[in-house]
Structure 1
Amino acid sequence: MSDDVPHHSTAARATDRPGDASPFALGLLLRRVHWRVATVMSEALRPLGIELRHFAVLIELVNYGPTVQRDLAAATGTDKAGIMRIVDDLESKGLAVRKAVPGDRRVRAVEITPRGLELFDSAHEAAEPLAERLVAELGRGEPEQLTDLLTRLAHPADDEA
């Protein structure tokens, strides 16, 4: 082995294994948890005929009411073409409708339908046992603690001002 090749220990390389001290460790662990949770929550949504991308838009519509597609795209991290496909899907399933925005003929707001609200509620019922399965390895009070910590990471105090 040449002396001009730097020697690094593998322990300093980013992983998502327990005990990783890498500055990337938290992000990698959160990514792994996201994949696991997304897979489990997709199980709850599949029988209802929607995917997580559809449910993300329904969440925004329930939380904020009629919303223009541009704002739905920003809120869900979806590009313009992607949000159009998602809203088209929701509309074709009768879960949402596009409506004209008074004063701007070019813009349409998306609104959840009564059928969309029913599906939204059904999704929560279907997800309950799966959500319990996700935190089954945690001890008493830890699911709430985890939720609190993740909420603080996702919504830093700086963002609220």
Structure 2
Amino acid sequence: MTHMKSLKPRVEDGRSIDDYRVEEHIGHLLRRAHQRASSIFQSYMGHVQITPTQFAALTKLRDEGELSQNHLGRLTAMDPATIQGVTRRLIDRGLVQIRPDETDKRRMLLRLTDAGLQLTEDIIPFGFDITDDTLEPLSVEEQELFLRLLTKIS
């Protein structure tokens, strides 16, 4: 998935720099879509003060039970520094607990507390609403295609 950067940009199909429009650039469009999704997420989750990365961690812990921080990070596509910060905040809020792995004392295992499980189950339904509202401008067929294509490039 890593791409080597060329010292010289590729110009194919007779494209000219005069033809470039930032508003058509993939990064720009993804950023705008992300802003939309983030704003909608905040409108639903602001009252519980949960971020999208925290929501991902909570729901994955609910799905999987007990996980190492490293494994949770891989499952939620977070780098080690990010997952460490996310789990620290969730532990500090009493939503996640940590314990040493009995088979590998160097590894710590994370799981939801009772309060974490209750909160997660209370807010998961908002996840459906967030997705529905974010994709609302698209037809059902477009939504399915869009999600398939995003999955393919992720």
TM range (shorter): 0.7 to 0.9
CA 1:125–1:32: 2 relative to 1, 3 Å: same
Bigger radius of gyration, 1 or 2?
Answer: 1
CA 1:129–1:57: 2 relative to 1, 3 Å: closer
Which residue number corresponds to residue 89 of structure 1?
89
Quote the RMSD (CA, aligned, Å).
2.4
Which residue number corresponds to residue 3 of structure 2?
none
Cα-to-partner distance string for 1:25-61 (whole Å, 9 max, x where unaligned)? 3343223212221221132221112111211211331
Which residue type is aligned with residue 40 of structure 2? V
4+ residue runs of structure 1 moved beyond 4 angstroms? Answer: none
2:22 match: secondary structure: coil
Which residue number corresponds to residue 22 of structure 2?
15
Identity %: 22
Please, which runs of 5 or more residues in structure 1 have no aligned partner? 1-7, 18-24, 155-161
Contact 2:44 2:126 in 1 (8 A): yes
Which residue number corresponds to residue 79 of structure 1?
80
The number of aligned residues is 138
Which structure would you say has the larger RCO, counting Cα contacts within 8 Å and 6 or more residues apart? 2
1:110 match: secondary structure: strand
Tell me how far 1:113 sits from its aligned partner: 2.4
Tell me how far 1:127 sits from its aligned partner: 4.0
Which residue number corresponds to residue 135 of structure 1?
135
